[in-house]
Structures are given as C-alpha cells and as structure tokens.
Amino acid sequence: MITVSWLEGPAPYQAVWNDMRVFTAGRTPDTPDAIWLVEHEPVYTLGQAGKPDHVLNPGHIPLVRSDRGGQVTYHGPGQVVAYCLVDLRRYGLFVKEYVALLEDAVIAVLNGLGLEQACRKDGAPGVYVPGRHGLAKISALGIKIRNGCAYHGIALNVNMDLTPFSGINPCGYEGLETTDLEHCGVHVSVVQAGELLARHVQHALQQRLSRGKSCYT
C-alpha cells in the first residue's frame, strides 16, 4: 500500500524535511510507503555535496543545505513537490533503477499532457522538454537513501515565477534554461499535476511489486 497525502502549504522546507527524516528513522518493514505532495515557500536547497559557488545571487530567498543528492535548485509556489518515502528493498530496487522509475513517472505525466518530447538528459538527473535554446528543465530530482529507504523526491514546475532560477546555476549547470507547464502551453493546477504525478509513481511501484522482484539485502 502506498498512501498519498497533501501537506498544507505553501510549507516551509525545513519542517517538511525534518518530518521526512523522522518518518524514515521510525520505519519498520511493515510501514506503508507514502507520497507527500506539497508546495513550498520560496527556498533554495543545496544538496549534500553541492557546491556553494552555484548559488549566484540568492537575494532575500533563504538557502538550506539539505541531505539529498544533487546540486542547487529552487522550490516555490506554483511548483508541486512529490516526496516519495519508499522502502526500496520492498521492490528490489537499486538507486539507479529508482531514479529511472521516478523520471519515467514524470515523463509519463508530461506525455499524457501532450508534451511528447519530454526526455532525460545524460548525466543530469531530472526531466527536460524543448526550450528556446535546446533543452529546458521542467522537473528536478534528488533523493536520500537511509537503511534501504528513500526520501526526498521530485519537483515539477507547473505555473510559477521562474525568475529565482536565475539566481543559481540550476542543478549545477551554468545557463541551464528552466520552464514550467504553463510556458509549455499546458494549463493545469498544481493539485491536478500533483495528483497525476502521485498516480504515476504509485502505478510504477505497484507494477514493480506485481512482477515479483526479489528484494536485495
């Protein structure tokens, strides 16, 4: 069973991050997996091994050093974040497979909304769509594994102020273009996008489980 719940938002990043760590630390083999959907208050987050020099001009937006993988990204209103609290052993998933599963779920959502050119980019986790000058990032991904269980997850830009991305090198890439569904001509609400995202992640994990993959140790 995978529960899905919306957190009240816009929510402060630090509080949700703390709740994820508490949830993961208290898990047992019988704890159901969960997907938490939320919009955040404006915040830059820097991954555990992220380089501070990718933060160019944060201005009034706070910066939080997180324990997820990856470099720096921005969260704010108009973006849905799906925090996936998943026991990878339950599905026999290794980290690279899990990352690919999450990316596939985002691509499936975008394909269903008419963005059929949504894709991955070699060496740069996340999901991209055609932009003004090549590929533009529409979804960022970062995870943390503790005792075989994952937390953090995926962010999908829906209808947001993209200006704060100019204050950083998004995900550590200078000049990387970012976009959202609205700029791609897709008019959906944050709630609609979040529900679609959760449904596709649920489906992918349940399919994995139904194939009877043996767990690793």
Residue-level pLDDT at 43: 98
Q: What is the value of pTM for the model shown?
A: 0.94
Residue-level pLDDT at 215: 42
Specify whether domain 2-210 bears CATH 3.30.930.10.
yes
Tens place of pLDDT for every residue, the chain, 217 residues? 899 999 998 999 999 999 999 999 999 999 999 999 999 999 999 999 899 999 999 999 999 999 999 999 999 999 999 999 999 999 999 999 999 999 999 999 999 999 999 999 888 889 999 999 899 999 999 999 999 999 999 999 999 999 999 999 998 888 899 999 999 999 999 999 999 999 999 999 999 988 865 444 3
DSSP annotation of 166 reads G
The distance between the two most distant Cα atoms of the chain, rounded to a whole number of Å, is 50
Q: Is the dihedral of CA 96, 101, 104, 105 positive or negative?
A: negative
Residue-level pLDDT at 210: 85
Residue-level pLDDT at 142: 95
Q: What's the one-letter identity of residue 44?
A: Y
For the chain, strand residue ranges (E) read: 2-6, 33-38, 43-46, 63-65, 72-75, 79-87, 127-131, 134-146, 149-157
* Residues noted as catalytic: 171
Residue 103: CA count within 13 A, CB half-sphere:
21
In this structure, the number of other CB atoms found within 10 A of the CB of residue 65 comes to 12
Residue 20 falls in which region: left (phi positive, over 0), alpha (psi -120 to 50) or beta: alpha
